Amino acid sequence: MDKAFTKGIRLIEALANSDRPRGVTDLAAELELTKSNVHRLLATLQANGFVQQVPHQSTYELTIKIWELGLRVLRRVDLVSAARPAMQRLAELTRETVHLSILQGHDIVYIDKIESDHHVRAHTRIGARAPAYTMATGKAMLAQMPDDYIDSLGPDLTPYTATTRTRLEDLRADLQKVRRQGYAIVPQGEWRDGIAACACAILGPNGRLAGAIGISGPDVRLKTRQLREFSQHVVSAAKDTSASLGYFGDS
C-alpha cells in the first residue's frame, strides 16, 4: 500500500468533514502526521487543483474538483436522474422525506433526497452514510445480497439504539421478511431514535442491485400501519425506477 497516497486520502477526508478551512497545525494533530508532511501533501493537492489556500490566511479548503468528480460518478450510474420522477411522486403521495441510497461497503450512502413539507421531519444530508443493517434502505439492499456478504457484517453488530439488531441471526430474520414482503420496514429507529422508515430495493439491468428508495419520518407520525399503507407507493417507486434503468422483472 502506498503510504503517501493513503495519507493524502486521509487529508482530503479531514478537509471534507470539516465545516471550516483548516490550518497545517490542527490537520497534523488530527491525522497524527508531522507539519512538514501535511504541508507537502497540501502543496501536492493544491498543484493538482484539489485544495486551495484561503486568500490572506494560512488555512486550506477543498475546491469543487472533488464535487465534480463525484458528479461524474453519479452521471455514469444515472441512478439519480432515473429515480427523480418516482421520488417526486412518492413525496407527493406520502408527504414524508424521500431518500435515494446506494450500498457502499457495509454502509448506505444518501445520494439524493426530497424533504418532507412537515415541520417535524427526518433530517439527513446527501453524502451522509449509516450502517446498512440499521436502515430501511439498507435492509432492502442487504436482502438482495448473498449469504457470504451478510456473514461479513457479523457475528456481532454494533448497537446504536435500543432496537438495533445486534445479532446476525436477528438481522437474517429481518432480511427474510423483506424478501417475502418485497420491502423493508423499520418502525422504530435502529440508527437514530424516533425515526421510522420504509424502503424497497431498485434493480438495474440483469436484475443487479442499483440502490434503494425509501421514506422516513418521526415514529410518532409514521406508525407501523401507516408504513404498511405507504409501502405500496414505495414499491411502485422502486419498480418505476428499475424500469427506467432497464429492469422489468419483479422487484
Tell me: the pLDDT tens digits for 224-243? 999 999 999 999 999 999 99
**Boundaries of every domain in the chain:** 3-63, 78-245
CA-based R_g, the chain, Å: 20
From the candidate CATH numbers 3.40.50.1100, 3.30.450.40, 3.20.20.140, 2.40.50.140, the one assigned to the domain spanning 78-245: 3.30.450.40
- Beta-bridge mates of residue 59: 23
Q: Is the dihedral of CA 180, 149, 110, 187 positive or negative?
A: positive
CATH topology of 3-63 equal to that of 78-245? Answer: no
Which has the closest alpha carbon to 186: 129, 133, 241, 242?
Answer: 133
Q: 49 pLDDT exceeds 70?
A: yes
Stated as kind and residue range, the H or E segment containing 148 is helix 147-151
pLDDT tens digits for range 165-206: 999 999 999 999 999 999 999 999 999 999 999 999 999 888
Cα distance between residue 169 and residue 175, in whole Å: 10
| Per-chain mean pLDDT for the chain | 90
What is the C-alpha separation between 179 and 175, in angstroms, rounded? Answer: 6
Q: CA geometry: angle at 161 spanning 136 and 126, to 5°?
A: 45
For 123-155, the pLDDT digits (tens) are: 777 888 899 999 999 999 999 999 999 999 988
- CATH fold of 3-63: Arc Repressor Mutant, subunit A (1.10.10)
